[in-house]
């Protein structure tokens, strides 16, 4: 009997020790989980700080709404485009990524989904004439700017960028173009501009600002550094320059600084064949063309 009692007590002690060990392990696991959760929560709120405005609120709804409007109202010929797929592809290009490390490969799938033909003699490029050129195209409907294509229409005036940590999108701030070259907006618009220029054919129009002291043509602009070099000389027959000037300003197109530099670009047969120029001084004259 004494042996049986000792054996029974030993078993009870063993069971008690096991229970205590299980409780200790459980408590340790719970504490570790709480600490990890707090650390993750703190990390998720550590957004990179930039000088530009953050991602547009309700970005998904904005992009989807514009996409559906474009393929149903603006250009019904593109009604077979999959807007949901377009949004998801666009989001993959920047979400959870450092906004200074975006590449052309990130956006290439999006460009493949959104590309569409541009009618010949309809392409209108611009530089420093944003407000005027789009007021003109909205009233005349004779030409198309980049912002009148699906890719440009969806993103016009919109801001977006990712963040390496949760939630993956930075709604507080995004890098300005001057902060880092490979930011989501810069890469997007450079690729879109290149695609728009490559699609141009026939007579091409360019609206420049002749009232800028530095000159109407700027080699570091999107037009001067990307679009002008991607016009296909086998497809483009003529380039017409619209030099827009303030009312009361100089009336001679050739007085604009850097105009001769532009001419040297345009007459290079590697770029395209030849150009003509129109000197326009106000929006009324532009709408009469």
> Yes or no: is domain 52-276 CATH 1.10.760.10?
no
Candidate list 100, 120, 180, 275, residue with the active-site label: 120
Cα separation, 148 vs 134, in Å, equals 9
Q: What pLDDT score does 271 carry?
A: 43
Q: What pLDDT score does 211 carry?
A: 77
Whether the model clears a pTM of 0.85, i.e. scores above it, the answer is no
Q: What pLDDT score does 257 carry?
A: 40
Q: What pLDDT score does 265 carry?
A: 59
Cα separation, 268 vs 238, in Å, equals 13
Low-confidence residues of the chain: pLDDT under 70: 1-12, 14-20, 22-23, 25, 28-45, 246-289
Question: Is 120 in the active site?
Answer: yes
**Residues 6+ positions from 16 with CB-CB distance below 8 Å:** none
Candidate list 83, 161, 201, 279, residue with the active-site label: 201
Q: Which pair of structure tokens corresponds to residue 179?
A: 């902060």
Residues making up the chain, counted from first to last: 289
Q: What pLDDT score does 28 carry?
A: 62
Question: Is 201 in the active site?
Answer: yes
Q: What pLDDT score does 141 carry?
A: 84
Secondary structure (H, E, C), 151-218: HHHHHCCCCCCECCCCCCECCCEECCCCCCCCCHHHHHHHHHHHHHHHHCCEEEEEEEECCCCCCCCC
Secondary structure (H, E, C), 35-75: HHHHHHHHHHCCCCCCCEECCCCCHHHHHHHHHHHHHHHHC
Q: What pLDDT score does 267 carry?
A: 53
């Amino acid at each position: 009997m004494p042996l049986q009692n000792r054996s029974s007590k030993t078993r009870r002690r063993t069971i008690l020790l096991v229970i205590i060990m299980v409780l200790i392990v459980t408590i340790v696991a719970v504490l570790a989980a709480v600490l990890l959760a707090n650390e993750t929560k703190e990390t998720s709120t550590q957004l990179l700080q930039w000088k530009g405005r953050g991602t547009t609120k309700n970005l998904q709804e904005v992009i989807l709404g514009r996409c559906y409007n474009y393929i149903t109202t603006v250009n019904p010929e593109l009604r077979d485009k999959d807007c949901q797929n377009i949004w998801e592809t666009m989001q993959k290009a920047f979400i959870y990524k450092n906004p200074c490390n975006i590449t052309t490969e990130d956006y290439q799938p999006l460009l493949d989904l959104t590309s569409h033909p541009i009618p010949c003699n309809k392409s209108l490029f611009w530089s420093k004439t944003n407000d005027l050129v789009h007021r003109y195209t909205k009233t005349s409907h004779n030409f198309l700017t980049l912002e009148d294509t699906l890719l440009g229409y969806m993103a016009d005036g919109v801001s977006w960028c990712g963040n390496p940590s949760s939630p993956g999108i930075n709604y507080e701030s995004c890098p300005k173009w001057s902060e880092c070259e490979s930011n989501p907006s810069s890469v997007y618009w450079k690729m879109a501009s290149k695609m728009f220029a490559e699609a141009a054919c026939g007579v091409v129009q360019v609206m420049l600002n002749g009232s800028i002291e530095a000159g109407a043509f700027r080699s570091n602009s999107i037009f001067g550094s990307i679009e002008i070099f991607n016009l296909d000389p086998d497809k483009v027959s003529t380039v017409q320059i619209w030099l827009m000037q303030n009312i009361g300003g100089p009336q001679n197109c050739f007085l604009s600084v850097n105009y001769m530099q532009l001419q040297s670009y345009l007459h290079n047969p590697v770029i395209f064949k030849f150009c003509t120029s129109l000197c326009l001084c106000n929006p009324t004259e532009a709408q009469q063309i």
